[in-house]
Amino acid sequence: MDKMNETIREAEESLLHTYNRFPVVFDHGEGVRLYDTEGKEYLDFCAGIAVHALGYGNREYEEALTAQLKKLTHTSNYYYNEPAVRAAKALLRITGLSKVFFTNSGAEAVEGAIKAARKYAYLKDQKTDHEIIAMEHSFHGRTMGALSVTGNSAYQEPFLPMIGNIRFAAFNDLNSVKALVNDRTCAIILETVQGEGGIVPATKEFLSGVRELCDEKGLLLILDEIQCGMGRSGEMFAYELYGVRPDIVTVAKGIGSGIPVGAFVLSEEVAEHSLKAGDHGTTYGGNPFAACAVETVISQFEKLNLTERVKETGKYLGERLSELVKEYDFIREARGVGLMWGLEFVKEKPVSEVCKRSLENGLVLVSAARNTLRFLPPLIVTKQDIDEMIEKLRRSL
């Protein structure tokens, strides 16, 4: 424990304190388990906030990245590289869209999507006063553009002013969206399943209605699938559950399964009539190493048939969490889809304390808004792992 405490002390001396971290230093992982520097084992139902889709220690993933590391990690986008081409083709195949721009993070993907939407509108009428409709209680990232479409004033207030012409509607309230549409509106952005906002899936009526509204008014639909995408819903992308396809989708987290990489993916129409050479760029985006991760992750998804596994284990997770709602009067509701679930607690029972107690009991969980406990395990989790989680959580409660 002395070594762990020393690492924590040095971190607090060296790192900018923008995170209230839990007092643990993780050292390595295997499957769905993490181990700290003292050797203690933890069942991981956070997955690095929905990142480690393949869990820890996937052999083919590690071998592919090791081989690429020995060949080439970066060249810049002045030149082509084969892994980026293969990764892009794989991503287009699973999204059903037309062109990819690789980024280093989800926030950067949202930034690019905003720029693409505004350029698309600008090319139509040469005006620069277009508006974007975003959702209350949404979360899209911490950079200035992504923060501007994040529907949480507490995140925004110290950094005002945000970028302009963003208006906020109520999530799952189609009439509130329609009330904001005017002749300057160019796009609507939303998470198919709100993550940081408390694990709230869009209703079928709402998402289908927004898609129809966009078609009717000539607006772009931007879906943020950074947290809910890449198999977490039981489909490769959550919008497939609704029979809806976006004009732009943002992805990250699980697509690299641990390597920092994101992307925004555009329909043929938007790709043809938006960003051109010189409009957008990135030094590291689409580098051979990150692209190798994307290509390998998608290959492993298909080889392991992960979406079908998620359908089965996700249903079971929902059932087990629903048992807790009946069992404890301080739990309001269980909601979610696939392997993305939340338990909402009454205000008198702070989830931060539950997270702390869970960690002590060898279970890694994180919270979200609405006093909600989040469950985001690696997609390789089993029913036995879920049973073990419930037992540890009961002990913590």
Q: What is the pLDDT of residue 194?
A: 98
Q: What is the pLDDT of residue 1?
A: 65
Instruction: State which residues of the chain have pLDDT below 70.
Output: 1
Q: What is the pLDDT of residue 177?
A: 98
Contact of 342 with 199, CB cutoff 8 Å: yes
* The two structure tokens encoding residue 115: 């720029």
Q: What is the pLDDT of residue 128?
A: 96
- Considering only CA atoms, which of 209, 190, 210, 211 is closest in space to residue 200? 190
The highest-level CATH class for domain 2-57+305-396 is alpha beta
Q: What is the pLDDT of residue 159?
A: 96
Q: What is the pLDDT of residue 224?
A: 98
Q: What is the pLDDT of residue 2?
A: 84
Q: What is the pLDDT of residue 311?
A: 98
Domain boundary assignment for the chain: 2-57+305-396, 72-304
Q: 72-304, what's its fold?
A: Aspartate Aminotransferase; domain 2 (3.40.640)
- pLDDT, tens digit, 9 for 90 and up, residues 207-258: 999 999 999 999 999 999 999 999 999 999 999 999 999 999 999 999 999 9
How far apart, in Å, are the Cα atoms of 225 and each of 69, 80, 109? Answer: 28, 27, 10
Half-sphere exposure of 251 (CA within 13 A, CB side): 30
pTM of the model: 0.97
